[in-house]
A and B are shown apart, each in its own frame.
Chain A
């Protein structure tokens, strides 16, 4: 067994230098360490939090940020009923067509439609946002170093700029953003949304909920992955033990 520990150690040595310290040259603060229901080998999404996060996204984020890889049908996976999802979908208008007269027309959203983008194109998005482009949020948790912790820190990391810092027009100061000057003004505060389930709507809670939701949008298959992973690893451990036994038996014959 010892030699495999050795092998593993060498493999680890190979692997360790590859997680490069991208933040080494950045002046941003290191993200806060936050607990997430979906982390760890047995982690699952906190359905209630994800649903509240959906509400936050719809009431706050969606005016500027798209969620283009999420279809309404996907919302069935976070514990909403088909009727609830149909109701949500119907609150959106979707461009369809052309119809028999050759014209595009608007209709209510349906299960198979994807979340409509807030802006028709990048130019319109920039024009409406002081020249900045609000990125799509579908993959945001996987697309930033630090993942959930970073997004949570960013959402709760707005503050008054320190003395001597000159802010550019329309920018806000954020301790966790690279360069500190972010075009997104503080999106959430205490009581920004009203939760139907009575959860306290503090700024931290709202941020935590919406990040839980975005963790789900970034990887809806996370639970399936971890479930299968536990099974596969248990299987491989048993198989390896048996193979070890067979190996000893076979080599014992050698004489």
Chain B
């Protein structure tokens, strides 16, 4: 490391360029190192691969519900009665905190499929309870109607409807 060339301690532009380059490169490197550390907490590939389930609907009678597990969360599948459907559809939009028509929440009126997680703080609401005969969350008292829409209590939004498709009349694929 002899000092044969470029030992020009009095060239400010080159010095500045070097400092900026070093700082910039260092910042890029640090960001590059941090990204894997952040990204490793995102869902891993095997978790993503399990992100859809198929459910057989054939055994569910009118007025019955089942709860299936999808991505670690409960999904409510309810075969609604005529009355429940009628109740849900009779509600005027202006009384809803999160206005959404019942028709927009179901693909077939009979089958209500939604994620059973209260939109307040994540508890699982109880079925066929509460002031609207839909769901009632025991944690902080949110009431949902027969379409799973929030009617009363601290929850801000309706119960979430996941993506799903009917594979045939008797089975549905969620996710």
Majority secondary structure of chain A interface residues (helix, strand, loop or mixed): helix
- Rounded to whole angstroms, the CA-CA distance of A252 and B14 in the bound complex is 13
Neighbour of B29 across the interface among A239, A245, A252, CB < 8 A:
A239
Tell me, yes or no, whether B59 is within 8 Å of chain A by CB: yes
| In contact, B1 and A249 (Cβ under 8 angstroms) | no
| In contact, A249 and B29 (Cβ under 8 angstroms) | no
Neighbour of B49 across the interface among A71, A243, A246, CB < 8 A:
A71
Q: A100-B59, A232-B32, A243-B22 are in contact. List 12 more A-B contacts (CB 8 A).
A: A71-B46, A71-B49, A112-B49, A239-B25, A242-B18, A242-B22, A245-B18, A245-B22, A246-B19, A248-B3, A248-B7, A252-B7
Please indicate the chain A residues that have their CB under 8 angstroms from the CB of B7 in the complex: 248, 252
- Rounded to whole angstroms, the CA-CA distance of A239 and B25 in the bound complex is 6
Q: Which of B4-39 contact A (CB under 8 A)?
A: 6-7, 9, 14-15, 18-19, 21-22, 25-26, 28-29, 32
Tell me, yes or no, whether A1 is within 8 Å of chain B by CB: yes
| In contact, A246 and B29 (Cβ under 8 angstroms) | no
- Rounded to whole angstroms, the CA-CA distance of A235 and B27 in the bound complex is 12
A interface vs B, CB < 8 Å?
A: 1, 71, 73, 100, 111-112, 232, 235-236, 238-239, 242-243, 245-246, 248-249, 252-253
Q: Enumerate 22 A-B pairs (CB-CB under 8 Å) in ascending A order.
A: A71-B49, A100-B59, A112-B46, A232-B32, A235-B25, A235-B28, A235-B32, A236-B29, A239-B22, A239-B25, A239-B26, A239-B29, A245-B18, A245-B22, A246-B18, A246-B19, A246-B22, A248-B6, A249-B9, A249-B15, A249-B18, A252-B3
Q: A209 to chain B: closest CB distance in Å?
A: 26
Majority secondary structure of chain B interface residues (helix, strand, loop or mixed): helix
B interface vs A, CB < 8 Å?
A: 1, 3, 6-7, 9, 14-15, 18-19, 21-22, 25-26, 28-29, 32, 45-46, 49-50, 59
| In contact, B21 and A242 (Cβ under 8 angstroms) | yes
| In contact, A111 and B29 (Cβ under 8 angstroms) | no
Please indicate the chain B residues that have their CB under 8 angstroms from the CB of A249 in the complex: 9, 14-15, 18
- Rounded to whole angstroms, the CA-CA distance of A112 and B29 in the bound complex is 35
Q: B106 to chain A: closest CB distance in Å?
A: 24
Please indicate the chain B residues that have their CB under 8 angstroms from the CB of A246 in the complex: 18-19, 22
- Rounded to whole angstroms, the CA-CA distance of A163 and B5 in the bound complex is 72
